């Protein structure tokens, strides 16, 4: 993309923050160009946020019905997915998925709960308090 072709449409999801994009100048050299987004990027971002909200709501409903632990609900609330959460807590994805089971989650020790709480930027008590109703 050429410098002159970098879109400068207002992207509401950026909230006025500029991003950097690499583009070629007239000499064919790559330069960084500040831009304020474009409509296509905004549409995609809003669509992704809607999907995360849908997943968050579905996970919460499954938690309330006893099918899931509160972990996936908080994961989606923090805009994470299983690979991101697994990487953040330093566990394999299969192990994180296993902790989605209420029976397994209830047996987690404080050390593991602390890793999840730190990854989700919350206190262990807040992570487990919803689980007290089970």
In degrees to the nearest 10, what's the CA dihedral of 121, 36, 55, 94? -60
Angle at 60 between CA 52 and CA 128, to 5 degrees: 115
Closest CA to 96 of 106, 86, 87: 86
The residue range of the domain holding 17 is 3-37
CA dist 70 and 78 (Å) reads 13
Q: Look at residue 130 in the predicted model and tell me its pLDDT.
A: 59
Q: What is the pLDDT of residues 10-35, one digit of tens each?
A: 777 777 777 788 888 888 889 888 87
Residues 72, 22 share a domain: no
| Residues 45 and 33 occupy one common structural domain | no
Q: Where residue 52 sits, what CATH number does that domain have?
A: 1.10.260.40
pLDDT higher than threshold 60 for residue 132: no
Same domain, 56 and 11: no
User: What are the DSSP E strand ranges found in the chain?
Assistant: 19-24, 30-35
- Give pLDDT tens digits for 78-102: 999 999 999 999 999 999 999 999 9
Same domain, yes or no, for 17 and 50?
A: no
pTM given for the model: 0.74
């Amino acid at each position: 993309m050429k410098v002159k072709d970098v879109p400068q449409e207002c992207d509401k999801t950026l909230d006025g923050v500029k991003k950097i994009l690499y583009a070629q100048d007239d000499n064919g050299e790559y330069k960084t160009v500040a831009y304020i987004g474009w409509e296509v990027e905004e549409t995609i971002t809003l669509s992704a946020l809607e999907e995360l909200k849908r997943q968050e709501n579905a996970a919460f409903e499954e938690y309330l019905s006893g099918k899931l632990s509160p972990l996936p609900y908080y994961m989606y609330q923090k805009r994470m997915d299983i690979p991101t959460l697994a990487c953040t807590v330093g566990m394999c994805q299969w192990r994180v998925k296993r902790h989605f089971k209420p029976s397994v989650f209830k047996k987690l020790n404080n050390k593991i709960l602390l890793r999840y709480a730190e990854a989700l930027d919350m206190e262990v008590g807040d992570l487990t308090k919803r689980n007290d109703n089970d």
